[in-house]
Amino acid sequence: MGVVPKAQAGVGSAVNDATRLLGGTLGVAVIGSVYASLYTTRLTSALPARLPAGIAQSAHASVGAALAVAGRLAHAGHPALASAIHDAASAAFFHGFHAANFVSAGVAAAGALMALALLPAYPTSASEPAGPDREPMAAPATATLSA
């Protein structure tokens, strides 16, 4: 905001907010898609082969649904199958979660490198001439403490 003319501060702030909201929305969508894809793939390969289709479909809905299915099976007298589903869902969840965290760390690192490379080190100073649409920046206000 230090390089935006005072007359256009509202527009600059709106653009800043819009890009922040768009980035957050896209981040949740991309990271969520990475997680969901890896969870489903890992769960499919880790579930027991003879599992009924209805139970497998419920387990694929979410990790919470998979753990609920495991709980119901344990109460119904199938502790080995419940344990297999619980372990498969937990492993799939953490696999997808770790990968999604690595993707988000990579995006954050790339953004930091782009900011270092593309953004100016300092905002324009008051000593630079103002253009026709631009007012020089005011000197920062200093606060004084009174006893």
Report the half-sphere exposure of 40 (CA within 13 A, side-chain side).
Answer: 10
Region 26-37 average pLDDT: 90
Q: Considering only CA atoms, which of 63, 92, 81, 88 is closest in space to residue 72?
A: 81
**138 DSSP assignment:** P
Here the tokens at position 41 are 């793939």
- Give a yes or no: residue 87 inside a domain: yes
Residue 89 CA: distances (Å) to CA of 15, 42, 47, 72: 42, 9, 8, 15
Structural domains counted in the chain: 1
- Give a yes or no: residue 37 inside a domain: yes
Going by pLDDT thresholds of 50, 70 and 90, the confidence category of residue 137 is low
- Give a yes or no: residue 4 inside a domain: no
- Give a yes or no: residue 129 inside a domain: no
Query: Given this model, what pLDDT does residue 120 score?
Result: 72
- Give a yes or no: residue 67 inside a domain: yes
**Cα end-to-end span (Å), the chain:** 34
Between CA 85 and CA 93 the distance in angstroms is 12
pLDDT at residue 132 greater than cutoff 80: no
Residues 33-80: tens digit of each pLDDT: 999 999 999 999 999 888 888 888 988 888 999 999 999 999 999 999
Residues 78-118: tens digit of each pLDDT: 999 999 999 999 999 999 999 999 999 999 999 899 989 88
- Domain range for 96 is 14-118
- Give a yes or no: residue 45 inside a domain: yes
Determine the residue type at 81.
L
The residue that leads in pLDDT, 102 or 124, is 102
- Give a yes or no: residue 130 inside a domain: no
- Give a yes or no: residue 2 inside a domain: no
Beta strand extents in 16-135 (DSSP E only): none
The residue that leads in pLDDT, 91 or 4, is 91
